[in-house]
Amino acid sequence: MADLVGVNGQRESFRVVGRHNLPGKLSYALATGIAKFGIDYVMPDMLHAKFLRSPYANARVTRVDTSRAWKVPGVVDILTWEDEDIKNLVSRGESFGPSRPWLDTLADTEGQEVAVIVVAESEDMCERALRELDVTWEVMPHIVDVMAGRDSEAPVIRPEVRDTPVFGAPGMGPVNPPKQGNVAFSNTVSGDIDKGFAEADYIVEYELRLPPFASHMPNPSGSVAWWEDSVYGGEGKDLHIEGAVRERRAIADMYDVPLEKTIQDGLFMGGKYCDWGLRKSQEVTPLLAKRTGRPVRCVNTREETFDFIMKERFMQLKVGFTKDGLITAIDDHSIADGGSWGSSSFGTTGDLTMGPYNSFKCQNVRQQMEIVDTNRGLMFVSGQHCPFNWDIGTMAIYLISEKLGMDPIDVAQLNLHGPDSQDDTRPVPSFDACIDAGRKLMDWEPHRAGEKRLPDGRLHGASFRYQMCPRHSFSGYDAKLELRDGVVHLPTQGPLFGVYAVECNAMVVAEELGLEYEDIAIDFDYREKFTPVGGGSDGTTASAWVMKECANVLKREILEATVEQIKNPPAPSMFGGFGFGGPPQADPFEGVVSADELDLVDGKVCLKADHSKGKPLRAAVSANLFATYSGRPPTALWAQGMGKKLDTMNTAYCEVAVDEETGEVEILRFGVVADPGKVLRPTSLESQIDQVMFFSQGCQLLEDYIYDPKTGVKLNNNMIDYKKPGILDVPRVDREFLETRAGNAAYGSNGISHSLANSHLVIIAIHNAIGVWVDPPATPDKVLLALGKC
């Protein structure tokens, strides 16, 4: 059992942790409509702002005449890239890609903010003013087809950019070649590829496309800002910014405002799962509010909120393996959309150091990646995606199983290395437990492609994959707890973005202090330091570990304060002698001299030797106490080798039925057996699993970005033409949780983090049904085409 360094990491009995149906601490605000998201704020005398957005995929503004726009009624301010206030703006949020002016004249994707901002009495007037701008555009060639962008004859869309990141894996292979045209390179090599292929009995090769996937934040990005006289006086005004949740410091730094004078009451982020990038509409309002002296609101439309959460990529795989199914060599060539300015290494080269290859015994692996500059769109940081090459690893296992007529689970088990290293041949207990449970859950009976027909005549397919249950390991946490007037308070800045992380921490505090979940008062306050963000979708297990330590610091303080109160009781009430309250009670703590003799159980301070003798917490301790703990749990095993060491694992399954006449694919069910180590908050863990399975369904059956090749315009950046799964679309998800306690965050937990989203689980099941490949999204027309029926 892991979590050996923390207090009570080995706890065996749980009263609060692991309980279902404990409501979120702000759920009642959300359900009743009183929760305020950033764009909900409406201030008296508020102005609105809009950016000029490029109608072209790649163009530069060479001149703009604003004179007609200024004549539009209600226009209060117009700024261009030439204004000093704009020139001085520097984003302080997380950003990637080459440095460029905050408001550029260059737009390298259609719809990008460029050159001009208009401020007016209403959004309607902003739009009217934008239509009155006289803009001269220099339209340049664009690339929205990733494969076309690789062509040596393709126009080079960013010739002046010299610092396009070319990530590599130092020490893992030859120096990456220099950028050529639109293409940068990142290569890694380990072992001896030629020797590995020479040892192989079979070689399979395959190509696949992974479609792009929209981040699709439910709440369009935006902010409202205003300046106000400081509540406490002093120089300068306070900046009030709503809608850039979690980014108060970035905004404060951007405008050189002390953090204590930067106010952000709203805590609700909306569905920003690991998308921490600040949009310009979230950054610009303080400037506009300062210039106009009025509150300013700037909000993107839905069409302007269609950033990637996963970019398109193409992969070619060559795998060598023995007649037993043991992989001997992997040669992986991928072509990734580098996207436009703002793209990150996530989803491209950052994934080269992760993925399934590190979980294989085979160490002869070459990965060659091309990152192609395009004008397709933006991706901010990371998203709810799995490192992409898990898909191709899943594919390799399926191809081997098809070739040899083996169960893919057996192929995976054969190739998975042991807990400690790629040379470790021992089984991984968590994996074995997952597949045992998975086989039962799914009534697993694998068959070769095209061999099983359902009673209704449709073809049946099934697929399997495994993944690690990784845990975020790179953040530290500053936890604070307070006993105030007999109530335990957990102060936190939030934020609230859907994983119930704060609640999970409160459950751990209640567990450690012998209290109930409802007893823990969570004080949401933007000024507080503690934020439980940081991976591990089971409520952020790493922060819960820190909070567990903090709770035990507070517990010790409570018990010591109890002893102090025994020695030095508070003065009796002036009414004590008048008979109120009945005869004096015998003191259960009589003779106690040390905190070691006491415990906290079921809301009472009691004798360790006899839990029936005690006092309610409020009566035992009248002192107000603080406890703090800064730190983090030991680095997760996953992060110590990105898969070269294994502890907690998960497996996922999919069954489909394919109608050969209509091309319709029905997902009969998903199955997930996950071992997060220890389940902390099961209700939200279940939801997180449902979410990623529905993500998988969406990107494999429904979702894609469609571009007009001639103009580079995105054609479906709206919720009608870009179809997300609805309640009638989603299949059943059967889930089972295992608790091996093999993680090293709170109580041996790790969580599930991004580990389940996968774009090929359904696609493989479709192949298993019909025997031919369909590139995602597998819409009926593509299925029929693959079957040669249209």
Partner 1 sequence: MANEKSVASSGGSMTFTLETAHEHVSDVIKAIPESLTAFRCPLCGKSFVGYGELERHYALEHPEDVVPVIIVLQLNGKACEVLIEPHWTLQRTLQFRLGLTGAKHMCGKGVCGSCTVIADGRCILACQTLAVELEGVEIQTVEGIAADPKWKTLIDSYCRWDAMQCGYCTTGFLVTAKALLDRNPNPTEEECKEALAGNICICGTYPRHATAIMEAALKMSQPPEPPAAQGFGGFGGPGGFGGPGGPGGPGRRPPGQPS
Judged by CB under 8 A, the chain residues 584 through 613 that form the site for partner 1 are 602-604
Which residue lies nearer to partner 1 by CB, 231 or 720?
Answer: 720
> Tokens at residue 131, please?
């239509």
Of the two residues 182 and 215, which places its CB atom closer to partner 1 in the complex? 215
Q: Which residues from 373-412 bind partner 1, rule CB under 8 A? A: none
Residues 612-631 that bind partner 1 (CB under 8 A): 616, 618
Give min distance, CB of 687 to partner 1, in A: 6
Q: Judged by CB, which is closer to partner 1: 121, or 597?
A: 121
Q: Which stretch binds partner 1 (CB under 8 A): 399-407, 419-427, 569-577, 690-698?
A: 690-698
Shortest Cβ 30–partner 1 spacing (Å)? 3
CB of 15 to partner 1, least distance (A): 8
Binding flags for partner 1, 294-313, as an x/- string (CB under 8 A): -------xx-----------
- In single-letter form, the type of residue at position 312 comes to E
Q: How far is the CB of 267 from partner 1 (least distance, A)?
A: 4
Q: Which residues pair with 148 in a beta bridge?
A: none
Beta carbons within 8 Å of 174's beta carbon, 6+ residues apart: 187, 189
Query: Amino acid identity, residue 137?
Result: W
Q: What is the DSSP letter of 500?
A: -
Alpha-carbon Rg for the chain, nearest whole angstrom, is 29
Q: How far apart are CA 288 and CA 297, in angstroms?
A: 9
Q: Is 535 in the site for partner 1 (CB under 8 A)?
A: no
Q: How far is the CB of 424 from partner 1 (least distance, A)?
A: 34
Q: Rank residues 81 and 500 by Cβ distance to partner 1 and give the closer one.
A: 500
User: Between 135 and 217, whose beta carbon lies closer to partner 1?
Assistant: 217
Paired tokens of 117:
């901002």
581 binds partner 1 (CB under 8 A): no
| Residue 668 in the binding site for partner 1 (CB under 8 A) | no
Please identify, among the stretches 88-96, 448-456, 469-477, 492-500, the one whose residues bind partner 1 according to the rule CB under 8 A.
492-500
**Smallest distance from partner 1 to CB 75, Å:** 9
By beta-carbon proximity to partner 1, the closer residue of 201 and 734 is 734
21, amino acid identity: N
Kindly state the DSSP code that residue 698 receives in the 8-state scheme.
Answer: I
Is omega for the bond preceding 495 within 30 degrees of 0, making it cis? yes
Min dist. Cβ of residue 690 to partner 1 (A): 5
According to CB under 8 A, which residues from 217 to 276 bind partner 1? Answer: 217-220, 265-272
Q: Are 259 and 246 in contact (CB under 8 A)?
A: no
Shortest CB 220 distance to partner 1, Å: 7
Site for partner 1 in 5-34 (CB under 8 A): 15, 19-34
For tokens 């863990």, what's the residue?
A: 685
Q: How far is the CB of 544 from partner 1 (least distance, A)?
A: 17
Q: Are residues 723 and 780 in contact, defined by beta-carbon separation less than 8 angstroms? A: no
CA distance to 158, 162, 177, 186, 634, per residue, from 183 (Å):
10, 12, 10, 10, 39
Q: Which residues does residue 297 pair with via DSSP β-bridges, in sequence order?
A: 48, 224
Binding string, residues 413-452; x marks residues near partner 1 by CB under 8 A: ----------------------------x-----------
Segment contacting partner 1 by CB under 8 A, of 281-289, 375-383, 730-738, 771-779: 730-738
Q: Taking Cα atoms as reference points, which of 56, 80, 59 lies closest to residue 130? A: 80
Minimum CB–partner distance for residue 513 and partner 1 (Å): 12
Task: State the binding string over 109-128 for partner 1 (x if CB under 8 A, else -).
Answer: ------------xx-xx---
DSSP state for residue 524 in the 8-state scheme: E
Write out the DSSP string of 90-111.
---S---SS---SS-SEE-STT
How near is the Cβ of 480 to partner 1 at its closest, in Å? 14
Instruction: Give the bridge partners for 226, in sequence order.
Output: 240
CB of 430 to partner 1, least distance (A): 20
Identified binder of partner 1 from the candidate list 2, 11, 17, 39, rule CB under 8 A: 39
Beta carbons within 8 Å of 76's beta carbon, 6+ residues apart: 47, 119, 120, 121, 292, 294
Burial of 608-645, coded b for 16+ CB within 10 Å and e otherwise, reads: eeeeeebbebeebbeeebebebeebbbebbbbeebbbb
The reply to whether omega before 777 is within 30° of 0 (cis) is yes
Applying the rule CB under 8 A, the residues between 71 and 90 that interact with partner 1 are 73-74, 76
Instruction: Work out whether 162 is an interface residue with partner 1 (CB under 8 A).
Output: no
d(CA 368, CA 372): 13
